[in-house]
Amino acid sequence: MLFFNKKNKAEQEELLKKQEEENLRKSKEAQKEAHKDVPIPGIIPMVHNRLNGEEVLSAPEDTVSPERKEELIELLYEPKLDADQVHGFETQEILFLMLAMELYHKAAPLENFETNHRTLYNEILDRVRDAQELYMLFDKRTGYPFIYSGCACIYLDQKSAEEAAAELKKILREIFVAKVQGEIGGETDKSIFEYLNFTGISMLLIDNGKYRCRFHRDEIRLSLDWNENAADKPPVNPELFYAMTDFLQEAKWPVNYEKKKEVLTLKQAIMADRLRKATLIVPVLEQPDGRKALMAMPDRNQEKMLAVFTDASEYSKVKTPGMEFKGQRMDWKTICRAVGELKGIILNPMGHRIAITTEQARQILAGAAPKASVPSGESAGNQPETAPMEEKSADVEAVKAAADADTGNVTDAAEHVNDTAAGSGQPSEKTE
């Protein structure tokens, strides 16, 4: 009787296994039938624009062979992708499979889409997270990371990055490729993801120009909490920084398109709104006679402008031999009062170099978004001067109040920020 029971149980398990296999076969066939008219995807063009009346369309060579695509498509119907198997795939194969999975699932639901897609996505994140070195696209005209559809573009290999830069050159984007430190390479505070905290770029594209995917920076390195003990820290303005970079990149792109004016107007409005809400750094010098002076730097027309900085990293780029400026926290209202007889304000003078006249600054304070001046050519290396203030001037009183207020000296508090951000923002190696 015992033998009979064991035999019966084994037969039942075998029947159950065969039934599960048959159900899986039927499920796969049904899903394949639902997808029979869905085309196998190719690489999405990175550059698709009209330039000088001609269509400029990127047509890169496919990185996955037709035969390999057929093999990978079969994996869409697996109940569970094996993580170890996926780990052995080429990066472009994983990115192709993710794209195919998304397109096929949209056409007709794939079983276990969420689980399998996450397996692929996690493998890509692991490769980015574990890379000691990465390659990033930078805009020559701004000196900052190139922003593509709101994302920074990173690559695991130099060749892919250089091919992408060549494609962008077709529409007159001046791009250079920089080798940057990954999350685990060298000092962790020099990671490119640490620097991106300061730039306000929260989304990244891996392998843009080939099969690609986007991910959030926080999935590699958590954002710093700028609001925690904010009064004891140097001001940091990632959202403003992003708006300035985004505006400058578009304004300096020498291509006219139908709605460029509207696009720039919108970007200016966003930048102005964030300036109104920002707390910034204004260098103040206490002179031997006890009076306060502010840092003045020339714009492209050699007009003296009040130097204002978004963060300690930008402030650290200025060298002031023989003058011990101390950065003070000021909001936009105080800055507008502090301008005095200067012609206006220059934002991040060793970086963005965005000039705003005194009148424009006051318009921004009142809620308007006037056009800011865009620097021509590369950032100048002009060193600062002092802007002496008359003791009886109302503007001087505003400066004195800001300088004497109990807001702390940001140059002292900024030491850590300077160490972690000032160097990491620059490419460790330019690979033109």
Which domains, from first to last, does the chain contain? 26-128 (no CATH), 132-227 (3.40.1350), 235-413 (no CATH)
Q: Average model confidence (pLDDT) for the chain?
A: 81
Ranking 45-49, 63-67, 185-189, 191-195 by mean pLDDT, the lowest is 185-189
Give the global pTM.
0.82
CB atoms within 10 A of CB 206: 23
**Beta pairing partners, 175:** 139
Please tell me whether residue 164 adopts helix, strand or coil conformation.
Answer: helix
Name the amino acid, one letter, at 258. E
pLDDT over threshold 80, residue 293: yes
**Measured between alpha carbons, how far is 244 from 236 in angstroms, rounded to an integer?**
14
294 to each of 209, 350, 396, 418, how far by Cα in Å?
A: 46, 16, 10, 21
Q: What is the pLDDT of residue 427?
A: 45
Q: What is the pLDDT of residue 264?
A: 95
pLDDT over threshold 50, residue 202: yes
pLDDT over threshold 70, residue 393: no
Q: What is the pLDDT of residue 291?
A: 86
Q: What is the pLDDT of residue 188?
A: 64
Instruction: Say what the alpha-carbon torsion angle 43, 47, 49, 53 is, to the nearest 10 degrees.
Output: -110
Q: Are 342 and 305 in contact (CB under 8 A)?
A: yes
**What pairing do the DSSP bridges indicate for beta strands 175-181 and 429-430?**
antiparallel
Rg (the chain; Cα; Å): 28
pLDDT over threshold 60, residue 385: no
pLDDT over threshold 50, residue 389: no
Q: What is the pLDDT of residue 28?
A: 84
Encoding tokens for residue 14? 């075998």
Continuous segment of H or E residues that includes residue 115 = helix 113-130
Q: What is the pLDDT of residue 194?
A: 87
pLDDT tens across 214-237, in order?
999 999 987 766 555 566 678 889
pLDDT over threshold 70, residue 148: yes
User: Taking residues 108-133, what's their average pLDDT?
Assistant: 95
pLDDT band at 340 (very low <50, low <70, confident <90, very high): confident
pLDDT tens across 14-41, in order?
666 666 666 667 778 888 889 999 999 9
**Measured between alpha carbons, how far is 275 from 398 in angstroms, rounded to an integer?**
19
